[in-house]
Structure 1
Amino acid sequence: MDRTVGDAPPLIALREIRKQYGGNIDGAPAVEVLHGITLNIQAGEFVAIVGASGSGKSTLMHLLGCLDRPSSGTYSFSGRDVATLDGDELAWLRREAFGFVFQGYHLIATESARENVEVPAIYAGMPEEARAERAAALLTRLGMADKLDNRPTQLSGGQQQRVSIARALMNGGRIILADEPTGALDSKSGAEVMLLLNELADAGHTIILITHDRDVAEQARRVIEIHDGQIIADSGVSAVKQALPAPDMAQAGRDAGASFWDDLREAARTAWRGMKMNRTRTSLTLLGIVIGVASVIVMLAVGEGAKQRVIDEMGSLGTTIMYLGSGHPSNGGPPGRLTIEDLDAVAALPEIGHVMPIIGDPVTVRYGNVDRQVYAFASSNAMPLVHRWRVAQGRFFTAAEDRDIAPVVVIGHKFKENFFPDGSNPIGKQILIVDAPFEVIGVMAERGADSGSQNYDEMVFIPYQSGRMRVYDARAEPDYTVVEAASEEQVQAAEAEMKKLLIARRGSDDFRIGNAAAKLQAAAQTSNAMKMMLGLIAAVSLVVGGIGVMNVMLMTVRERTREIGIRMATGARQRDIMRQFLTEAVLVSLVGGVIGVVSGLTIGGILLLSKVPVIFSVTAIVGAFACSVATGLIFGYMPAKKAAALDPVVALASE
């Protein structure tokens, strides 16, 4: 039985709708595109809105589809004022009520025909298997059964428009908003699309057709003409045989939409496909994360291994040697920092022979075209005496040179062979330690390494103050301090007196003493300064990688602006868009973190095979990986937020 306007309230009711652009505080002139549009559309009608280019018909369609808001006037949908709906409720309405068919098709280029059709159902929370079946059924119904897996570039214009129509019907498509659906098609394809729209109208769908072609408009059952933002003609409401029920506005925004896991899986799938399609850019982005994670793992492992072996070797040199370093108090709290004044007080004890602060780490040393990682041992001039080690050529540095921060260096026997293979005299030559020039003043006698310990012959020895200021960035405290008792018999007494003195001076036992006479019961602790330096290196490496992620994600948002508009038009909420792009950023960092961990362990394994001292830290590995994931979240947030804040109309209009 036919039903007319008098039988039911209108599905869509516009009252004095105006739309203005510009006129903001930036001084742009105000331009009013719609001038007081008043219009009722009944459920089940097939309406054509016809007008020339620039008449305001597309702006009207965007308002009808809740992609834009009017500047003034009232838009009621099924009796509910649309102005009272928030962002999630508008997304719900677009998802449940509207299906868009665009002149430019607006298909996602990286998705297949079936995947494009599925997009609205993803945000409606339809299970994956169910939406795949429905998408395939809709495409089959529209004669696209053999094109399910084809991407848009593999389809003709008519076929792309059929995919667009199937997408519009995916969530029911109670109202089809078709913007110039035949404008980019040949006459045959255009006729087929119009036939489909008439069939949908017969099935009870409300069809709103936007066109400039009067011949196309005449195929609708009601024609509204718009000119200069005003309705100038309306053929009147046509009889409606049947109409699909309007969505229950009481449920607006109450559904959960896409589930977290479905949305996450969809975002991960989209991100992975994008990464594969942009392999070069993805590889360069991953490189920053990989280098950051791998460098943290390898540097910590090499640093810890080298330090441990040096300490082990030093402990084997004699039973009068103890090692003093910072540590956590026994009752809890942060580790202490031993000062030079503390060390001077220890040196004044009668049981103590020498106090020698040490800073040491593998650093880059250069001479001519030779460039190697060498352990730079910064200590006082007492080093040869404490370790019973003589100088074979030249001399050792003096206390005055140490005090004056003199750029002088004594090299090991094997270092000389590596950097001066021609047998030339190294005395007086300049070598670069990191970026600081040092003059060679002596060569140590050959010593070797015991039981695979650090090879002292490959080291360079520099004054403590020179190392602290010129090489190790003004480090505030030593890595550890070698304390020699006055005699072997006084070792235990020296340890006890040293402990008593330091507790009295510092008020707590925030230090550790390793006693070689007691078989070095505790390994020397890594200094806070070393931890800080390695932490900063890790932070810089990962920040660089994070900036790369952010740049790529910003570029991705720019490249996929239209896709974002499509997803919003099909019902995506702002948080859906943000979650998708955050997931993509985290996925990049996650993959980079995994590769970085594998690379770091591989490099460490190679170093171990090369007999380089390496001690891996599970904490460092887990921490580096966690930092890589956090980098994705932190540096992906801004691009994700920018994507979510895009205006749907502006996004759809982008190229």
Structure 2
Amino acid sequence: MSALIELRDVERVYHNGEVTTQVLHGVSLEIQRGEFVAIIGQSGSGKTTLMNILGCLDRPTRGSYRFAGQEVGALDSNGLAALRRQGFGFVFQSYHLISSANALENVEIPAIYAGLPAAERHARAEELLTRLGLGERLGNRPSQLSGGQQQRVSIARALMNDAEVILADEPTGALDSRSGQEVLALLKELSAAGKTVIIITHDREVAAHADRLIEIRDGLIIADSGAGPAAPLAVTEAPRPVSERGIALADTGEAIRMALRALRANLFRTVLTLLGIVIGVASVVAMLAVGNGARQEVVERISSMGTNLLSVRPGAPNMRRSAEGVTATLTAEDARAVAELDNVTAALGESQGSATLRFGNVDYSTTITATNAGMPLVRDWGLASGAFFTEEDERDYATVTVIGQTVAKNLFPDTDPVGRYLLVQNVPFQVIGVMTAKGATPWGQDQDDVALVPSTTGSLRLFGQRHIQGITAYITDIGRIDATEENIRQLLIARHNGVEDFQIRNTASLLDAVTQTQDTLTVLLGSIAAISLLVGGIGVMNIMLVNVTERTREIGIRMATGARTGNILQQFITEALVVSAIGGVLGVLVGLGSAWTIGQLGTAVQFTLAPVVLAFGCAFAIGLIFGLMPARKAAHLDPVVALASD
């Protein structure tokens, strides 16, 4: 029968810069299944290096190592992890328990990486600990256990995956004599049950408990008592190591639970990391809500003026005004001609001026607008009470007026204005209607501070001129607004003897321009907020790098118990993602709360789903990106170096 472990001319050489140290010098060794072997040697003899090679924690520089007939040197890192997971259980001198996990969780670690379902591994870990006399200590952390109890937990962990080989490195070195004897008795029982037990020690009294004694000195085996009586084998065939990619964690939930436990162990540091993410996400959510609110407010105000309007103003660019400050190029006839064009529902010829209104003993200065009967349609401005003047009123030069809400409140605070007479530049006008509240323009002008009169009446009785200050055309089909604009241009050029002494403004284009400007400002606000989110991401990376440095030994423990590269990578990336996800959720809540508070103070705020998804998605992506480098660093640590870390 072939040996379980076969070493042929194994050498191990370490290189530290230009310094080369050879620890093992051509070691050859065979160990049969079921043997209880003690490898003894003083410090520096090479026994620990030999153990690391036997347990697949390290590779020989030269020579051959075969386990159960398979060449170990041909395995990649994940193949070695699979072999450690299936074939070996480690009992370390300093126990190497994870301080943030309790006894049950420490014992379960190998089974997690073996993919054993949670219920099964809980039951097996509890059974092993109970068998070893720790049934009442399942929830205790290592700091709450004595040295002997911690070593028993370490033994239970070594047995978790029913490994065929138990490797014990100075198993009694940190224990008192009583605890040491108990541990040795346990190892003896394991050997009797058919396990292959290998003890690494410098103590001959400890080595005497083994059936076979191998002595090593200066990297060479100098004595071997030979194979002792083998115990009855508990298995008929050793676990077959494989070179597959390894077994992933049982599920994502398990990875998240492990991440939460690790983060809880350093709660204050985790809170500081969360703070950076929270501030970043909250800033993005709040600033974009404010920016979108400001944009929506401007859009609504411009839209209230009408987006299907074409505004014609007199005078070409750089054209000089008259001495009275009026550019006299448009007439009421021009407005009527524009109204006859296709796709023009109505066209207003308007003039404006300031005047003092009087009712009783109250004087009030306001804006007088001379306009047409179609103004409510063109301006999308309804009546609160009364009626609007008609085309007949325009033809008759009627002295009637419709006033805005601001004028009504100042001249008629306690009286219904409709039917009342007021004086406009000492000309009596009858109030026939009151407009609904329009509010202020985007540039702050009060649209309700106005008195509207028929265009003919304004020209004859108030302004004393036939020219108008502008034409506003209401477009039927906004999809053809550009073509209609060109038609108006050509009509007016023809009417003005080939001279383009006017300017046309498209309110839809104005809305687009303002919207683009507001979008730019919103992006700017979001970019400023994103900087704080980026800083939070850098904080995640720094904390994760510190975690890797502080938990190097834990990483080594996980690798020794069968964790492959992907498992370590997954764990640390999951921790970064969990921090970012928690920070993202809290940041969204804080951002929404801040934006709501700002809205209560009078600032326009608009809540939409996109900024929330964007901010949370960015936080999650930052956790992934900034957590990747520390995770890769952890995943590529050397198991031997990691276990030796302080």
Q: Does 1:654 align with 2:645?
A: yes
* Aligned position for 1:176: 166
- Please state whether the residue corresponding to 2:515 is helix, strand or coil: coil
- 1:546-565 CA-partner distances (Å, limit 9, x unpaired): 10100010011111111100
- 1:351-398 CA-partner distances (Å, limit 9, x unpaired): xx99xxxxxxxxxxxxxxxxxxxxxxxxxxxxxxx9999xxxxxxxxx
Equivalent residues in 2 for 1:115-194, closer than 5 Å: 115-194=105-184
Q: Does 1:553 align with 2:544?
A: yes
1:487 partner amino acid? G
* Aligned position for 1:85: 75
* Aligned position for 1:72: 62
1:496 partner amino acid? D
**Which one of the candidate residues 562, 579, 582 is aligned to 1:591?**
582
State the 1:183 CA deviation.
0.1
Tell me if structure 1 keeps the 8 A contact 2:246–2:564: no
Q: Does 1:41 align with 2:26?
A: no
State the 1:524 CA deviation.
3.2
**Which one of the candidate residues 496, 500, 505 is aligned to 2:482?**
496
Equivalent residues in 2 for 1:195-214, closer than 5 Å: 195-214=185-204
Equivalent residues in 2 for 1:11-30, closer than 5 Å: 11-22=4-15, 27-30=17-20
* Aligned position for 1:297: 285
- Please state whether the residue corresponding to 1:267 is helix, strand or coil: helix
Tell me if structure 1 keeps the 8 A contact 2:24–2:46: yes
1:14 partner amino acid? L
Change (3 A) 1:614 1:527: closer
* Aligned position for 1:56: 46
Tell me if structure 2 keeps the 8 A contact 1:320–1:516: no
- Please state whether the residue corresponding to 1:292 is helix, strand or coil: helix
1:594 partner amino acid? V
State the 1:266 CA deviation.
2.6
Tell me if structure 1 keeps the 8 A contact 2:292–2:522: no
Tell me if structure 1 keeps the 8 A contact 2:214–2:221: yes
**Which one of the candidate residues 282, 294, 297 is aligned to 1:306?**
294
State the 1:318 CA deviation.
8.9
Change (3 A) 1:248 1:322: farther
CA distance in 2, matches of 1:527, 1:578: 43
Tell me if structure 2 keeps the 8 A contact 1:293–1:596: yes
After alignment, is 245-254 or 600-609 more displaced?
245-254
CA distance in 2, matches of 1:302, 1:387: 36
- Please state whether the residue corresponding to 2:538 is helix, strand or coil: helix
CA distance in 2, matches of 1:499, 1:625: 46
2:297 partner amino acid? R
- 1:107-146 CA-partner distances (Å, limit 9, x unpaired): 0000010100000000001100000000000000000011
State the 1:83 CA deviation.
0.6
Tell me if structure 2 keeps the 8 A contact 1:116–1:163: yes
CA distance in 1, matches of 2:303, 2:630: 54
Change (3 A) 1:486 1:226: farther
CA distance in 2, matches of 1:62, 1:118: 22
- Please state whether the residue corresponding to 2:140 is helix, strand or coil: coil
Change (3 A) 1:89 1:453: farther
CA distance in 2, matches of 1:310, 1:620: 20
- Please state whether the residue corresponding to 1:122 is helix, strand or coil: helix
Change (3 A) 1:319 1:158: closer
- Please state whether the residue corresponding to 2:45 is helix, strand or coil: coil
- Please state whether the residue corresponding to 1:271 is helix, strand or coil: helix
Change (3 A) 1:40 1:516: closer
Tell me if structure 2 keeps the 8 A contact 1:225–1:232: yes
Q: Does 1:566 align with 2:557?
A: yes
State the 1:102 CA deviation.
0.2
State the 1:45 CA deviation.
0.4
Q: Does 1:239 align with 2:229?
A: yes
Tell me if structure 1 keeps the 8 A contact 2:287–2:526: no
2:597 partner amino acid? I
- Please state whether the residue corresponding to 2:590 is helix, strand or coil: helix
Identity percentage of aligned residues: 53
- Please state whether the residue corresponding to 1:149 is helix, strand or coil: coil
Equivalent residues in 2 for 1:305-384, closer than 5 Å: 305-313=293-301
State the 1:57 CA deviation.
0.5
**Which one of the candidate residues 619, 623, 626 is aligned to 1:635?**
626
Tell me if structure 1 keeps the 8 A contact 2:309–2:472: no
Tell me if structure 2 keeps the 8 A contact 1:12–1:77: yes
Q: TM-score, normalised by structure 2?
A: 0.70
- 1:577-626 CA-partner distances (Å, limit 9, x unpaired): 00010000000000011011111111121122222100112111111111
State the 1:538 CA deviation.
4.1
Tell me if structure 1 keeps the 8 A contact 2:302–2:441: no
CA distance in 2, matches of 1:545, 1:243: 57
Tell me if structure 1 keeps the 8 A contact 2:193–2:232: yes
- Please state whether the residue corresponding to 1:73 is helix, strand or coil: strand
Tell me if structure 2 keeps the 8 A contact 1:312–1:453: no
Equivalent residues in 2 for 1:213-292, closer than 5 Å: 213-245=203-235, 252-254=242-244, 257-259=247-249, 262-292=250-280
- Please state whether the residue corresponding to 1:99 is helix, strand or coil: strand
Q: TM-score, normalised by structure 1?
A: 0.69
CA distance in 2, matches of 1:349, 1:20: 92
* Aligned position for 1:607: 598
The alignment covers a number of residue pairs equal to 490
Larger gyration radius, structure 1 or structure 2 = 2
Tell me if structure 2 keeps the 8 A contact 1:316–1:516: no
**Which one of the candidate residues 599, 607, 611 is aligned to 1:620?**
611
Change (3 A) 1:614 1:239: same
**Which one of the candidate residues 3, 8, 33 is aligned to 1:10?**
3
* Aligned position for 1:105: 95
State the 1:11 CA deviation.
0.4
Tell me if structure 2 keeps the 8 A contact 1:97–1:246: no
State the 1:456 CA deviation.
4.6
Change (3 A) 1:237 1:322: farther
- Please state whether the residue corresponding to 1:9 is helix, strand or coil: coil
* Aligned position for 1:476: none
Tell me if structure 1 keeps the 8 A contact 2:87–2:241: no
Change (3 A) 1:388 1:533: farther
CA distance in 2, matches of 1:276, 1:524: 47
CA distance in 1, matches of 2:559, 2:442: 62
Tell me if structure 1 keeps the 8 A contact 2:302–2:442: no
CA distance in 2, matches of 1:486, 1:88: 84
Change (3 A) 1:194 1:251: closer
In structure 2, runs of 5+ residues without a counterpart are 321-325, 328-350, 355-436, 446-467, 488-504
CA distance in 1, matches of 2:443, 2:251: 56
State the 1:307 CA deviation.
2.5
In structure 1, runs of 5+ residues without a counterpart are 1-7, 324-345, 355-385, 390-448, 458-484, 502-511
CA distance in 2, matches of 1:349, 1:539: 47
Equivalent residues in 2 for 1:463-542, closer than 5 Å: 487-489=470-472, 496=482, 514-515=507-508, 524-525=515-516, 529-530=520-521, 532-542=523-533
1:286 partner amino acid? L
Equivalent residues in 2 for 1:420-435, closer than 5 Å: none
- 1:193-233 CA-partner distances (Å, limit 9, x unpaired): 00000000000000000001011001110000111111111
- 1:527-546 CA-partner distances (Å, limit 9, x unpaired): 56335424432432221111
State the 1:637 CA deviation.
0.3
1:83 partner amino acid? G
Tell me if structure 2 keeps the 8 A contact 1:125–1:256: no
CA distance in 2, matches of 1:548, 1:224: 52
CA distance in 2, matches of 1:153, 1:548: 30
